Amino acid sequence: MQAYRTKKTRFTPMRILAIGFAVVIFVGAVLLTLPISSASGKTTPFIDCLFIATSSTCVTGLVTLDTGTHWNYFGKTVIMILIEVGGLGFMSFATLFALLFGRKITLEQRLVMQESLNSLKLQGLVKMAQYVLIFTFSVQTVGAIILSTQFIPQFGVSKGIYYSVFHSISAFCNAGIDLFGNFASLTSYYDNPVVILTIGSLIVIGGLGFYVWQEIYNNRGIKKLSINSKLVLTVTAILIFGGAILMFLFEMNNEGTIKNMSLKGKVLSSLFASITPRTAGFNSISTADMSPAGRFLTIIFMFIGGSPGSTAGGIKTTTIGLLFFTVVAVIRGREETEIYQKRIGRELVRRAIAITFIAMCLVTVVTMILCITEKGASLEYLLYETISAFGTVGLTLGLTPHLSEVGKLVLAFTMYCGRVGPLTFAIALAKKSYLRGIRYPEDKIIVG
């Protein structure tokens, strides 16, 4: 009996979540390898397929092969499905199929759903999963309809509808993968407010988190929102509008980006350049031609990412917000972190510190490895690529298609860790620990 228990404890919800994403990635890679997936009808190297399947499932957007020209519609559809499954979480779809076939959701499945949706409680998880699916498909449908007004006149009815659906899903899931070819992304639409604002809105909606939207809907406003939702909205607004102003100032005299644009184009490009680093990966201006200040701001935004329980990656807005208020509390000499006249438990503060520290360690180690494997690439390019992979962003300075095989595997692993979550992945690998009845004597060390 004891041996049975030991075996069961190996498959914790975090481990099931980590393994589930790995299985989806592998299946996607195998399908993309098949000749029926490529436009040329030839087999695609498995390592490229593994990289792209990881990027799609982890809703990152980094690609070693041009999505618009290398794959046929079967391959593109596989990528689109991987984006949808990865963005919403495979447990949401597992719940959908279970409900369709009339199967009961077990306690173990609810625990995995809880981890997948970043929920604080088990109650109402099945209903929450249903809400996530309905909300997602509704928003994506509206986004596709709006985009079709621009893409159908340009590409024709069938291709225009397909492009509208694909890019609506890619934007909402914060994937950033496009079908326009030649790694161009949205650079040809920089002054098209319908395309830029629709894609930007889908990115923000997907990146806010499903719990935030559920609370807004249930409370019919923001006054009665939880402290979590208020913090998410506050940090998101500061990053979007503050970032847009900074991007405008940094790039206004840059001929490689927005200097020669009209005022409308400059405003749209600055706003979009502030939104998309928050794990989306689309770009309406050349990232390689951005000013050093613009690239550095992009790196910061990529590391922060979106919000918990969303389709976004990064360390999350609530984590950076919690760390900020913790620093404020230390400066003011207060023992507890306080946000909006509420006290935050030390366990959450420790978790935020752990997430940030693990993320920084992962980025550091991966960048150092790439410094060895990617000969001739500058440190800035390698750091940019690494943080883009960790934050599941997908922006690149042009290095991705030229990565070595080892570099592709390292970044694929980074994307996987970024999507599953650095702390979740670390705990999934660690042995289960138990509370000890021993407390060591307290002592002090000098810091700062």
Picking from 121-130, 148-157, 382-391, 422-431, which range would have the lowest pLDDT averaged per residue?
422-431
Does position 138 have pLDDT exceeding 50, yes or no? yes
> What are the pLDDT digits (tens) for 328-365?
999 998 888 988 888 888 888 988 898 899 899 999 99
pLDDT average, residue stretch 217-225:
74
Residue 423: per-residue pLDDT: 54
Picking from 205-219, 270-284, 291-305, which range would have the lowest pLDDT averaged per residue?
205-219
> What are the pLDDT digits (tens) for 230-257?
999 999 999 999 999 999 999 999 999 9
Q: How confident is the model at residue 196 (pLDDT cuts 50, 70, 90)?
A: very high
Residue 92: per-residue pLDDT: 56
Torsion of CA 389, 399, 289, 182, to 10 degrees: -100
pTM here is: 0.84
Residue 429: per-residue pLDDT: 46
The residue whose two tokens read 């890679």 is 29
Mean pLDDT, the chain, integer: 84
Residue 368: per-residue pLDDT: 96
- Quickly list DSSP for 147-203: HHHHHHHHH-HHHHHHHHHHHHHHHHTT-----SSTT-TTGGGTT-HHHHHHHHHHH
Q: Which of 379, 172, 196 is nearest to 274 (CA)?
A: 196
Q: How confident is the model at residue 111 (pLDDT cuts 50, 70, 90)?
A: low
Q: How confident is the model at residue 6 (pLDDT cuts 50, 70, 90)?
A: very low
Does position 46 have pLDDT exceeding 80, yes or no? yes
**Side chain identity at residue 305, one-letter code:** G
In order of 33, 143, 152, 160, 170, the CA distances from 148 in angstroms are: 30, 9, 5, 6, 15
Q: Give φ, ψ of 338 to 5 degrees.
A: -125, 130
Strand, coil or helix: 71: strand
Picking from 79-88, 172-181, 380-389, 435-444, which range would have the lowest pLDDT averaged per residue?
435-444
Residue 9: per-residue pLDDT: 46
Residue 140: per-residue pLDDT: 94
Residue 273: per-residue pLDDT: 94
Burial class (CB in 10 A: 0-12, 13-18, 19+), 107: exposed
Q: Which of the two residues, 191 and 8, has the higher pLDDT score? A: 191
Picking from 127-141, 176-190, 316-330, 374-388, which range would have the lowest pLDDT averaged per residue?
127-141
Does position 110 have pLDDT exceeding 60, yes or no? no
Q: Which of the two residues, 10 and 194, has the higher pLDDT score? A: 194
Q: Which of 40, 23, 43 is nearest to 32 (CA)?
A: 43
Residue 209: per-residue pLDDT: 79
Residue 1: per-residue pLDDT: 41
Contact assessment for residue 382 and residue 371, using Cβ atoms and an 8 Å cutoff = yes
Residue 398: per-residue pLDDT: 87
